Structure 1
């Protein structure tokens, strides 16, 4: 009797070996290291760019001289021009436009366009402004405020009148800065005998001696070399490279 044969095994067609488990895609997190590094790089670039732009436009408004001014000149608003310049670490040594130096006296001569350092100013002291009447023919044509003059009294009937009380030629004012020149006419009606008023600054204690030494004589004004070359340690002037782009350095800042 033969042994029973085993029934053949059957495999279900719908049964398959298990595959790898599906991975869920996670949304990006705010604390992702790459995202944080990217944000930091962008912020760093913005800050560096802002510092570069600020450094390139680090100008300050300061006062400069409107023209050549002699030592001893009492400053007025018309003598000052605001300019924007780049001074870096020496900005404190110059007069910012927030200051009001009008009424102060120049301790040394300055040239037109020169930046005004704080050290160039001094208190007016006992200076007074003395008005001297001078015939137009004895005043240099280019005489202007800020120049240094000597004033002579001369015994000339044409200059001093028909009966001068004194004789000779005397220096009545020496090395005085001119504060103003008025009464000078350039028209066809102006003549050499018209009177020009020359205002000079002199110490108060000398004013009476100046008037007494004139003694009715006529006056002649002689102009000195008013402005010397500035020293090497000072005398900075507004330079076109110091001004911000598109702005003239020798013009007003506002």
Structure 2
């Protein structure tokens, strides 16, 4: 009988991270939901547990390498194994490139890039011991094309692409697969200020062959596949989830300036 699957999801108390948590729960996985928002995270974990899910909230800051190791250890202690890591924690800042200060650049890189590296390092010994592991990192469309006012964010997400490929090559011998997703424009409560703006909506949907925004559940479904046994020969991949946006001709569809 196959062991129960276990997963850590950072940024699991909101947005796409929480969609992944719910997807894994629906499959019967035991999940460690990690977030800096402790009050919200505990409340969500309690609500899910009351419905019969095995969810453990772990508060912690992935930008601290020591805390990342502690998160992994606490997750292993409550889950018994660590099969899956999804690095969904992230922040975004919108600033003209000439105005980006070191505090912004460092903050965005620390959460999005360094936090991802620290969590991958932290789970590696547990996955290597079991010779079974699947990691999915969150990149972005901004790793593939340029856009105004998002220098820090684009730098962090471009770094994720290379981190993913490097770890996929380095850790294949331990039975660990490492992939990444690049979501397009996904409609979430946090993004509704931009996605519901009429001018922004028209510009983005005109560039997207499918003519619509994505749903968090669609991102979670792709991550579910990448972390499943069915994807056992898939590693080092950076997979867009964008309704065909990146497949379009950039000369016909120039990158849109995001609206805050």
TM-score, reference length from structure 1: 0.20
Structure with more of its chain in helix, by fraction: 2
TM-score, reference length from structure 2: 0.20
Structure with more of its chain in strand, by fraction: 1
